[in-house]
Amino acid sequence: MTDFHVYDTTLRDGAQQEGLNLSVPDKLAIAGYLDQLGFGFVEGGWPGANPKDTEFFRRAATELRLQHAVLAAFGSTRRAGTEAAQDPQVLALVESGAPVVTLVAKSSPRHVVEALHTTLEENLAMVRDTVSFLVAQGRRVFVDAEHFFDSYVQDPAYPVQVVQEAFAAGAEVVALCDTNGGMLPPQVFRAVTELRAVTDGILGAHCHNDTGCAVANTLAAVDAGATHVQGTVNGYGERTGNADLVTVVANLQLKQGREVVDPAALAQALHLSHAVSEVTNIPPVGRQPYVGASAFAHKAGLHASALKVHPDLYQHTDPALVGNSMRTLVSDMAGRASIELKATELGYDLTHDRELAARTVKRVKDLEQDGWTFDAADASFELLLREEVTGEPLQYFATESWRIITDSGDGREALSEATVKLRAAGRRVVATGEGNGPVNALDHALREALADAYPELAGFELTDFRVRILDASHGTDATTRVLIETSDESSSWQTVGVAPNIVHASWTALVDSFSYGLLKRGVQPRP
């Protein structure tokens, strides 16, 4: 574990992602999560480039209690024609107090000449001077050789010279960058293999994902002898992002048997990657390898029938190793085995009742044919399953009728008013509710009608409402599917309703939502 570096740049390169903006408290919080992931190095930003990054390093010195990670400050080699000791940007790196300084250095002749407007010799001197100055200041210096691979495939001579210059000046690591993200694994493997043959220093890989190969390129570099990997949590980063470091680490550890982080930390990967998503306010991607919600979710009936025998028949690894878990999805692609597995997840044992499982499959398939969808509405599926198991629907109240009026005029916003008539707890109740739309009004009226019988409903909140027109060619005559997400203080659940009338579909999803929430709280029906 000690001689392999896992270097995270979520707070620097990750923050270069479009739409991602981290405050100093956000950065401090994420640094804590990266540390818990067991990463060896956390690059905190570019001190001196903006006040936020400067403040991050100032506060990190007293507020961060890192257990594993060493903090790195990022910056560039000195400006052309200046002295490292006089360059404010280089001095800010020293002032940051970070024990590691990572310098971006040009390694492509074209960039040196066209972007830096200087000579190849001066660029080598910039690398040499800046590295040796920072080493003399007591810093561990890592160098990011920018555009290394693009340059190498054109002509290896200059980029190799930059790498050698950096090591000669005292750099501890040189990370080879696929800055434009255009490489493929064989190119990376070849370049690192050839470079490995002419230098003893620690080589690393920093790969962008523009060909969709950032993780594969990183692994190719490791196969060729790199022992330092850079990346970001959730693959955040400039353009299409960086190598997803959780995927890289999981592959190294679980597929190649290299213990690069503590296995207990890897077992927190899902939780910590989602915790980072909470801070970045970027929803997690369901299809993300290892830690995505769908990474171990199985929809096909044939898969489920084999999974029943052994989970590894359709899974490449044990989800628990990354903190994930297997899920079965129920849909019109389900078979009896899918229903059995799902029922087990939900606490029902159907293993000895093939007929019940078959009946449930048929009901699901028939309903999905009519537009229902159960893999996105687990709660509605559980109510359906419960009905099949007990032989009767779960009924907390008996609906007599509901009605909506929407009115507007004189430039007023439209306002909806709903009236609900039902029987609950042995009483007939008539209640009204207002809302800015028909579903909102219906929700209010239903809560009002049930408030005495089921005060627990006050803790439920509608958190998402999605409508899909299922047969658009029918225009306003089409079938409508409504998916509702409801939350309480500890969980959330999804329900579905389908009907030609949007309000009717919403009512069905709403009734399921309330019924499921009450069921989960152990509330007995009092119709």
Ligand X SMILES: CC(=O)SCCNC(=O)CCNC(=O)[C@H](O)C(C)(C)COP(=O)(O)OP(=O)(O)OC[C@H]1O[C@@H](n2cnc3c(N)ncnc32)[C@H](O)[C@@H]1OP(=O)(O)O
Which of the residues 166 through 185 are near ligand PYR (CB under 6 A)?
177, 179
Nearer to ligand PYR, 141 or 519 (CB): 141
Q: Is 219 helix (H, G, I), strand (E, B) or coil?
A: helix
Binding mask 393-422 for ligand PYR (x = CB under 6 A): ------------------------------
Q: How far is the CB of 111 from ligand X (least distance, A)?
A: 8
Q: Which residue's beta carbon is nearest to the bound ligand X?
A: 49
- What is the spatial distance between Cα 265 and Cα 445, in angstroms, rounded to a whole number? 48
Q: How far is the CB of 154 from ligand X (least distance, A)?
A: 18
Please give the distance of CA 301 from its chain centroid, rounded to a whole number: 27
In terms of C-beta distances under 8 Å and separation of at least 24 residues, what long-range contacts does 443-446 make, across chains too? Answer: 443/510, 444/418, 445/402, 445/418, 445/419, 445/420, 446/402, 446/418, 446/420, 446/510, 446/511, 446/514
CB of 277 to ligand X, least distance (A): 22
Residues binding ligand PYR: what is the number (CB under 6 A)? 8
Residues 76-135 binding ligand PYR (CB under 6 A) are 104
Identify the burial level of 254 via C-beta atoms within 10 angstroms of its C-beta, where 0-12 means exposed, 13-18 middle and 19 or more buried: middle
* Smallest separation, CB 100 to ligand X (Å): 16
Q: Does 146 bind ligand PYR (CB under 6 A)?
A: yes
Minimum distance of ligand PYR from residue 146's CB (angstroms):
4
Closest to ligand X by CB, 116 vs 425, is 116
Query: Nearest approach, Cβ of 107 to ligand PYR (angstroms)?
Result: 9
Distances (CA, A) of 206 to 216, 244, 254, 298: 12, 11, 21, 33
Residue 79 interacts with, from ligand X, ligand PYR, none (CB under 5-8 Å by kind): ligand X
The one of ligand X, ligand PYR, none whose footprint includes residue 49, by CB under 5 to 8 A per kind, is ligand X
Q: Is 140 in the site for ligand PYR (CB under 6 A)?
A: no
Minimum CB distance to ligand PYR smaller for 192 or for 265: 192
Query: For residue 6, which phi and psi values (nearest 5 degrees)?
Result: -110, 115
Structure token pair of residue 346: 């939900």
206 binds, among ligand X, ligand PYR, none (CB under 5 to 8 A by kind): ligand PYR
User: Which stretch of DSSP H or E encloses residue 485?
Assistant: strand 480-487
The least distance separating ligand X from the CB of residue 79, rounded to whole angstroms, comes to 5
Which residues have C-beta within 8 Å of that of residue 347, sequence separation ≥ 6? none
Say if CB 364 and CB 331 are below 8 A apart: yes
Q: Cβ of residue 168: shortest distance to ligand X, in angstroms?
A: 18
What's the min distance (Å) between Cβ of 480 and ligand PYR?
47
Q: Judged by CB under 6 A, does residue 13 bind ligand PYR?
A: yes
What letter represents residue 231's amino acid?
Answer: G
DSSP character string of 171-215 = -SEEEEEETT----HHHHHHHHHHHHTT--SEEEEEEB-TTS-HH
Q: Is 206 in the site for ligand PYR (CB under 6 A)?
A: yes
Nearer to ligand X, 23 or 325 (CB): 23
Q: Which does 105 bind (CB under 5 to 8 A by kind): ligand X, ligand PYR, none?
A: ligand X
Q: Which helix or strand (DSSP H or E) is residue 42 part of?
A: strand 41-45
Selection from ligand PYR, ligand X, none that 503 binds (CB < 5 to 8 A by kind) is none
Min dist. Cβ of residue 104 to ligand X (A): 5
Q: Specify the pairing of strand 5-8 against strand 297-298.
A: unpaired
- Our CB check for ligand PYR shows the closer of 146 and 172 to be 146
Question: Distance between CA atoms of 354 and 308, rounded to whole angstroms?
Answer: 14
Going residue by residue from 207 to 226, which x/- string records binding to ligand PYR, judged by CB under 6 A? -x------------------
Cβ within 8 Å of residue 376, ≥6 positions away: 483, 494, 496
Check residue 429 for interaction with ligand PYR (CB under 6 A). Answer: no
Query: Would you tell me which residues interact with ligand X (CB under 6 A)?
Result: 46, 49-50, 76-77, 79, 104-106, 115-116, 126, 146, 179, 238
106 contact choice in ligand X, ligand PYR, none (CB below 5 to 8 Å, kind-dependent)? ligand X
Q: Which is nearer to ligand PYR, 35 or 144 (CB)?
A: 144
Contact of 245 with 233, CB cutoff 8 Å: yes
386 binds, among ligand PYR, ligand X, none (CB under 5 to 8 A by kind): none
- For ligand X, give the closer residue by CB, 50 or 501: 50
Torsions phi, psi of 42, nearest 5? Answer: -125, 115
For residue 505, report the phi and psi dihedrals to the nearest 5 degrees.
-60, -40
Handedness of CA 107, 112, 114, 116 (dihedral sign): positive
Give Cβ neighbours of residue 286 (< 8 Å, ≥ 6 apart).
292, 293, 294
Binding site for ligand PYR (CB under 6 A): 13, 104, 144, 146, 177, 179, 206, 208
